[in-house]
Amino acid sequence: MAALSVRELSLRFGGVDALAQVSLEVPDRSLFAVIGPNGAGKTSFFNCLTGYYRPTGGSVLFDGRDITRLGAADVAALGIRRTFQNVRVFPKLSARENVLAGAHLRASASVLGTLFGTPAHRRGERELAEEADRWLDFVGLADKAAVLAGDLPYGVRKRLEVARALIAHPAMLLLDEPAAGVSSVEREELASVIRRTAADGVTVVMIEHDVELVMQLAAGVAVLDRGRLLVQGSPEAVRADPRVVEAYLGRRQR
């Protein structure tokens, strides 16, 4: 069964087709990659899936449910979490609090519990904080829990974003260029985090320029070019496809 099924998704900005009738299916519990040259519409695609852009045509089904018109917060409530291409952590919150913010929908909303600090409320908060620390550990940031996110280096923030998404126990995780601007050591750690996440049954969709990483991790690949779906298939098939080579390198002069 497909976790995500996108049908003829279109997005127009004025006269520009950011996305033109993109249809694809992401199988449940798979590790899927979306690649394509700059400006191909990959991030626009993610923004349509997560309620940040409203598509001008087509539909998005998640677990058989139409989520095309939902706002970003509602999409998140359905168990779809994402990271951002340009890394968006909350700079003046500590790493731990960043992760806790990701657990918003799991935290106790009881007014009385909050105001009077009832034992149940305190226990809930303590357990959540401990879980946040375990997620920080999971992405290799156990020693950074108390550091302000704004003071962390770029590559570390990327992993913090992943921890912040994972504490929500998402059914699907969308990663927008997780390896961009990340050192080669951090890249290995990141690959391990992604692999372990997918192994645990989370459907992972990632946009990535790092073809090595994609070939190494993804089970399925879709290639976007100028807003259109060019090819979809296994990593090997996609790599060998002449249309993909052309999209990246241009047409051979005759």
Instruction: Using the CB atoms, write b or e for 78-110: b if 16+ within 10 Å.
Output: bbbbbbbeebebbeeebbbbbbbebbeeeeeee
Of the candidates 8, 13, 54, 104, which one interacts with another protein according to CB under 8 A? 104
Torsions phi, psi of 216, nearest 5? -75, -35
Member of 10, 84, 187, 215 binding another protein (CB under 8 A): 84
Using CB under 8 A as the binding rule, whether residue 222 contacts another protein is answered as no
Sequence length of the chain is 254
Q: Report, in Å, the least distance between residue 138 CB and another protein.
A: 6
SS3 at position 47: helix
C-beta separation of 22 from 55 below 8 A: no
Pick the binder of another protein from 148, 180, 191, 211 (CB under 8 A): 148
- Are 7 and 23 contacting, i.e. CB atoms less than 8 angstroms apart? yes
Residue 54 in the binding site for another protein (CB under 8 A): no
Contact between 16 and another protein (CB under 8 A)?
no
Give yes or no for residue 143 binding another protein (CB under 8 A). yes
Residue 202 interacting with another protein (CB under 8 A)? yes
Which amino acid does the sequence have at 167? I
Beta carbon of residue 180, minimum distance to another protein (angstroms, whole number): 18
Size of the site for another protein (CB under 8 A): 50
Query: CA-to-CA distance for 186 and 192, rounded, in angstroms?
Result: 10
- The residue assigned the tokens 């979490």 is 81
Q: Which residues of the chain form contacts with another protein (CB under 8 A)? A: 50-52, 71-73, 76-77, 81-82, 84, 88, 90-93, 97, 100-102, 104-105, 107-109, 114-115, 117, 121, 125, 131, 134-135, 137-138, 140, 142-143, 148, 151, 164, 166, 168-169, 192, 196-197, 199-200, 202
